[in-house]
Amino acid sequence: MKVAVFGATGLVGGVMLKVLEERNFPVTELIPIASERSAGKQIEFKGKQYTVVTPDQGLEMKPEVALFSAGGQTSLDWAEKFAAVGCYVIDNSSAWRMDPTKKLVVPEINASTLTADDKIIANPNCSTIQMLVALAPLHEAYKIRRIVVSTYQAVTGTGKKALDQLNNEKGGNMEGDMAYPYIIEQNCLPHCDLFTENGYTKEEMKLVNETHKILGDPSIKVSPTAVRVPVVGGHSESINVEVEQPFTMSAVRWLLEHSEGIVVMDNPDNKEYPMPRYLNGRNEVFVGRLRADISNPQAINMWVVADNLRKGAATNAIQIAEYVVANFLS
């Protein structure tokens, strides 16, 4: 089938191409799409060269599936046009996430809510995806009451400009373009995205609002702090989750070990726990440091790590596309 990758020359677009190939997605014709200034560049996919085209050209080619990762305004401008020609659009931006007419999907949790009429499907924020993959099984078993989460987010979540800033600073060049208001090398910025009127950042509010929508439960209380750290690939999260029903830690561990998309990496005696440096390039969500909250008998602490460009973006989008193909296009 014809598959378009909108934003093919960007960081996430490049990972989408890798994941499409790794998962042997049924691509008969690739349509790499980017801005006018990138049109004409060559993209390699499965040993073949493809020419990057403009959005207008891509639309004329009528793909069956389009993976969008080119920013919110681009999605607002083009997603409905692609959907109008019969294309299923899986959008990685924030443009459609909170639109009540669009589904916000993490396949392990709520892919079954999709119908053939859902032509525009929203991919959640990277930090929300990995948190909810780890927490959804607990919500189903014990009903979550409150989540306190602090994120430690890689610079690749901001994009190429941020990665260039970090690399420049590592090399001693403090005069290059800056994606952040401060130096990021050897630093932590408690500031992801723009601040909102309530004092939280947009990134933090995504963790609140997207959790309510994906789990279908606005009663869950979420208290987030999002921090940018000088890591290239992989977000980490410290999560404290309070549940309503009684639990044992052995039952929690068993539940996570037997849930789709999760790898439990938790052996403190052997110093085994998830770390982004060693899990970059993996598609799973890794959970470690599992322990009962000694201050609250109804709460659990955990440490969750995932590759933000893979499960946090490209892999999740392609898993959605796989569900669409299997259920609506086969």
For the chain, the distance separating the N- and C-terminal CA atoms, rounded to the nearest angstrom, is: 10
Rounded to 5 degrees, φ, ψ at 315 are -65, -45
Helix (H) or strand (E) holding 239: strand 235-243
Query: Among the options 139, 188, 235, 258, which is catalytic?
Result: 235
CA–CA distance, 70 with 94 (Å, rounded to integer): 11
- Coil, strand, or helix at residue 67? strand
Distance separating alpha carbons of residues 204 and 201, to the nearest angstrom: 5
The rounded distance, in Å, linking the Cα atoms of 109 and 154 is: 25
Catalytic residue among 126, 191, 192, 258: 126
Question: Are the CB atoms for 66 and 6 separated by under 8 Å?
Answer: yes
Q: What DSSP line would sit under 26-63, residue for residue?
A: --SEEEEE--GGGTT-EEEETTEEEE-B-HHHHHHT--
Q: What is the CA radius of gyration of the chain?
A: 20
Helix (H, G, I), strand (E, B) or coil at 249: helix
The yes-or-no answer on residue 258 being catalytic is no
Query: Would residue 139 show up in a list of annotated catalytic residues for this protein?
Result: no
Quick one: tokens of 164? 């260039």
Inter-helix orientation angle 11-22/315-324, to 10°:
50
Name the strand (E) or helix (H) holding 120: strand 120-122
Q: What distance in Å separates the CA atoms of residue 15 and residue 110, rounded to the nearest whole number?
A: 24
Q: How far is C-alpha 129 from the geometric centre of its chain's CA atoms?
A: 5
Q: How far apart are CA 69 and CA 12, in angstroms?
A: 7
Catalytic residues: 126, 235
